[in-house]
Structures are given as C-alpha cells and as structure tokens.
C-alpha cells in the first residue's frame, strides 16, 4: 500500500487519533453548511467557544438556502461520509431515519454501466440535502460552547504572522470577533484568497477543470412498501452516450422519489417534465421508468455548473498562522460523483488528527493541508479524469493522467462481471478506500481476466425508444 493510501486509510478510520486535544479560546467558522458544521463539531472538543457565521438564517425546519443554489438537486451521502457522521454523532443514522430519511440496503441498490446491472455493495442513507443539513445543524446547535450567528463575513484581521479575527455584518451593523483559529467553510465562491492577496500573503493556486455539467431533478410520489430496486445509479460512458452523463434515483423523506438526469455541454436532459419522464421510460433501465410513471410533484429544477475548482493550500508559498479551509472552499467537484459532503466529512477528520498531533498553532497549518491534500487528490483524480473524457470537454488525458484513466476504464469495465472488482471499486467511489488500491496486482489481474468474460445483456427500458411518451 502506498503512503497516500495509508494516510487516506488513517483519515477515513473511525478510530480516535492519538494525542491530547489542542486548547483554543475562540474558534470561528466561516459558513454553516455541512463542511462548516462538521468543522464546528470537531472544534467543540478543543475550543472554549466556537462561533459559526452563516449568511442564511437558521430555521427550525429543513429548507433550501440561498447559499446552496444546488440544494434542490440529488445529494449523495457516500459510505465514507456516513461513517464519519456516525463517528461524530453516534446514532445519527437512526435519528435521521426516525425523522424521515430512508435506508437502502445494498441488495436493493442497482448500479448500471451502459445499462448493464451490477449489484450494489453499500447500504445507503438517503434524503434531500436540506433535510440532512438540518439534522446536522440541530445536533451542532446543541453542543456546549457552540454558537450559530447570522451574518455576512466581510474580511479577516491579520496581525503579525497570523489571522487574529474576523469582520462581519449582522443586522445591518459591522461586527468583529477576535479568534485563535479561523476555518474557511464559505464554499466555492470563498473570498478568503482575495483577502489574503490584498494583505500581501500568497493565495493558494487555483485550478479549474471545465465540466459544463447540467442537472435536472424532479420529485415523484413513492408508493408504500419495499421495491425490488429502491435506489439506482445509471452511468453512461462517453463511448456509449457521448455527453449524456447518466441518471439516478433514491427514496427521500415525505414518501418521494428524487430523480436526477445529467449531461455535459449542450446535452441537457430532462429540462421539462415531458422530457424527464420520456427519457426515464425510454433511455434508462426499467426501474427508472417505473419511478417516473408515478405522480410528478412540483416542477423540474435545473442547475448548471461550469467547472470544478480546487485551491491548493498545501502549495501556497506563504500563509498566515491561524487559518484553515474545508469543504468547497478547498475543492468543489462535479456533483455527479457525489463527493462533496463526504469530502467535507473527511476534512473534519483531518482537522481532528491535526489538532491532536501536537501541532504548533502559532505556525501555518501546513501539516493539516498536507493531510487534507490526500483526500482532495483522491476525489479530484477520480472525478476530473471522468470529466475530461466527455466530448464537450475535449481535454484528453496526458502522461500519468492517461495511465490513470486507462486503469479506471479497465476496472469499471470489470465491475459488471467480477464481484470482487466491483466491491473494490465501490470502496473507492464511496470514499472508503484510496483510488491507488485499484492498482493492486490482484485487482488488475482480475480486471484483465474479466475482459474474456461475456457481458450480460443491458437491462431494457420500460418502453421502446420509438414509442410516444
């Protein structure tokens, strides 16, 4: 196992890291989404007071927020994220299910690659994004010493070689908080890099990967009782579908299905209710058509994201002490891979390990960013490699990227006929294992051998493609 894979295994472990907790007076978190809330949960073990500053007011019920414009779309909590949520909030899954979330056992999850089915290997906890975030927020609000403040962050105070405080506006008035540690969880539009540059510090290098991803999401009435297939993911490879990315459906609270179709570039599937239903019934395996045959609840919601972004904090030449970043403020991926919330959960694990490592809090947090980079690299390599293969992106892999892309293609092709390879790939896509584990001799040999195994026939759609919707 490589050093990156070993580090990833330690980060994704639920075993508490060794070492005494670092002691802080006040820690301030910029942003109250899943990344910021989980950072606050970790900091509550180390700081006398944790203040989370969030622009959108907290409510007593789940609801979409302006700061999460894509909240109406499907959000996956991968197994790696579910494990971490259970670690930080024991009993989280049971609590969420009691409130309306759904459990999908692995034997009721179907994974289709170009229509060919493979069984799922992970149990899922499924819900809408606002519901899940609300569950986490309520638990964080109940932590001693944690305060959620509604306000808009306007800048950082820097004194000497460290961040010393945060400026923000609340109720129309300027405010200020001194801080021993500031965590940027303000999302992909974070302004922290700009503030650092303006103050003479080095902003982390920013990389953009063009995706041009388009989403369409709709809710359908879910009938009572168990279904043979309770959740499904239909992957469409570029060789088969070009810029058609795929589809997914899961059960969510309030007796609903949530269904998502995705495409790249000018491919925008499901933009209307008629197109959504037609495609589910004619272009994807039968369970999609069955789900879309139910009552449509509300309108189709669309969303477009032009690129994936990552800020390489580990590569910044000069950084102040007392400043960290987590979640989309570090890396925001193409959402089709469902890595966002789980990456945020693993960033919280990095934070915990760093704070218990005897770190010098008066120095730049380079050890933290090095840990976090292992998580970011793992997610980025997997998702950006898939994006580059789409015709509309037209950015073929080069050098080592080409080798990695070829390896992933080989393994994906084997998942439909070899259950061992399928489990290994599931561990990577669920962010439980590092992608380098797929390069083990055993997995490579099985993947090569699988090329000689006849492929099952694709699962047919509910109705022929030439039949009127």
- Walking along the chain (469 residues) 10 residues at a time, the average pLDDT comes out as 87 88 95 96 97 86 58 76 96 96 93 89 91 95 96 94 96 95 95 95 90 91 90 90 91 95 92 96 96 95 87 94 97 84 96 95 96 94 74 65 75 92 93 92 95 92 72
Q: What whole-number distance in Å separates Cα of residue 72 and Cα of residue 64?
A: 7
The pLDDT value recorded for residue 251 is 95
The pLDDT value recorded for residue 319 is 95
CA dihedral for 26, 53, 151, 131, sign (positive or negative): negative
Q: Which helix (H) or strand (E) holds 305?
A: strand 296-311
Listed in order, strand segments (DSSP E) in 7-76 are: 24-30, 47-54
DSSP state of 236: -
Query: Strands 256-264 and 206-221: what pairing?
Result: antiparallel
Q: What b-and-e string marks burial along 391-422, b requiring 16 or more CB atoms within 10 Å of the CB?
A: ebbeeeeeeeeeebbebbbbbbbbbbbbeebb
Please, are residues 52 and 177 in contact by the beta-carbon 8 Å criterion? Answer: no
Cβ–Cβ contacts within 10 Å for residue 269, how many?
A: 24
Domain range list for the chain: 11-102+127-206+316-377, 209-306
Angle at 341 between CA 222 and CA 410, to 5 degrees: 90
- What is the maximum alpha-carbon separation in the chain? 70
Which residues are CB-contacts of 407 (< 8 A; sequence separation ≥ 6)?
A: 438, 439, 444
Gap between the terminal Cα atoms of the chain: 51
Tokens of 379: 């997610």
Please, are residues 368 and 359 in contact by the beta-carbon 8 Å criterion? Answer: yes
Q: What whole-number distance in Å separates Cα of residue 245 and Cα of residue 215?
A: 10
Q: What whole-number distance in Å separates Cα of residue 183 and Cα of residue 433?
A: 26
Indicate the CATH number of 11-102+127-206+316-377 among 3.40.50.1240, 3.30.230.10, 3.20.130.10, 3.50.50.60.
3.50.50.60
Nearest residue to 206 (alpha-carbon basis) of 315, 99, 133, 298:
315
The structure's pTM equals 0.93
**465: β partners:** none
The pLDDT value recorded for residue 56 is 87
The pLDDT value recorded for residue 443 is 95
φ, ψ for residue 139, nearest 5 deg? -70, -40
3 state DSSP class of 347: helix
The pLDDT value recorded for residue 469 is 42
The pLDDT value recorded for residue 398 is 62
The pLDDT value recorded for residue 111 is 92
Which residues are CB-contacts of 249 (< 8 A; sequence separation ≥ 6)?
A: 231, 232, 257, 258, 259, 260, 287, 288, 291
């Amino acid at each position: 196992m490589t050093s990156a894979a070993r580090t990833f295994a330690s980060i994704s472990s639920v075993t508490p890291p060794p070492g005494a907790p670092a002691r802080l007076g006040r820690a301030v978190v910029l942003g109250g989404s899943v990344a910021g809330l989980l950072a606050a949960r970790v900091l509550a073990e180390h700081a006398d007071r944790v203040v989370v500053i969030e622009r959108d007011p907290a409510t007593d019920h789940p609801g979409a927020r302006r700061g999460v414009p894509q909240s109406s779309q499907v959000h996956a909590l991968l197994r790696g994220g579910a494990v971490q949520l259970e670690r930080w909030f024991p009993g989280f899954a049971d609590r969420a299910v009691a409130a309306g979330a759904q459990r999908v056992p692995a034997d009721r999850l179907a994974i289709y690659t170009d229509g060919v089915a493979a069984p799922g290997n992970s149990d899922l906890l499924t819900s809408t994004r606002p519901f899940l975030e609300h569950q986490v927020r309520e638990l964080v609000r109940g932590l001693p010493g944690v305060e959620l403040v509604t306000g808009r962050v306007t800048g950082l105070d820097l004194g000497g070689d460290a961040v010393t405080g945060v400026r923000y506006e609340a109720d129309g008035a300027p405010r200020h908080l001194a801080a021993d540690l500031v965590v940027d969880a303000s999302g992909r539009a974070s302004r922290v890099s700009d503030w650092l540059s303006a103050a003479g510090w080095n902003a982390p290098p920013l990389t953009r990967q063009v995706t041009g991803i388009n989403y369409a999401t709709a809710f359908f009435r879910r009938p009572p009782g168990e279904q043979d297939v309770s959740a499904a993911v239909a992957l469409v490879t570029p060789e088969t579908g070009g810029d058609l990315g795929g589809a997914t459906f899961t059960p969510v609270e309030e007796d609903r299905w949530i269904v998502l179709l995705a495409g790249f570039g000018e491919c925008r599937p499901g933009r209307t209710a008629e197109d959504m239903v037609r495609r589910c019934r004619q272009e994807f395996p039968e369970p999609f058509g069955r789900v879309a045959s139910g009552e449509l609840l509300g309108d189709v919601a669309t969303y477009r994201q032009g690129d994936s972004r990552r800020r390489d904090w580990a590569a910044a030449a000069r950084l102040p002490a007392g400043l960290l970043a987590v979640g989309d403020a570090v890396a925001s991926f193409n959402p089709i891979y469902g890595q966002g919330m789980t990456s945020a959960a693993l960033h919280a694990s990095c934070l915990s390990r760093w704070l218990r490592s005897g770190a010098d809090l008066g120095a730049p947090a380079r050890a933290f960013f090095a840990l976090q980079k292992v998580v970011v690299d793992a997610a980025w390599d997997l998702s950006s490699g898939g994006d580059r293969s789409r015709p509309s992106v037209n950015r073929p892999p080069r050098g080592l990227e080409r080798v990695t892309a070829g390896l992933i293609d080989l393994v994906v092709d084997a998942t439909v006929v070899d259950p061992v390879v399928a489990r290994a790939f599931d561990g990577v896509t669920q962010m439980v294992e590092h992608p380098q584990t797929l390069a083990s001799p055993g997995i490579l040999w099985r993947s090569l051998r699988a090329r000689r195994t006849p492929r099952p026939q694709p699962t047919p759609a509910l109705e022929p493609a030439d039949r009127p919707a």
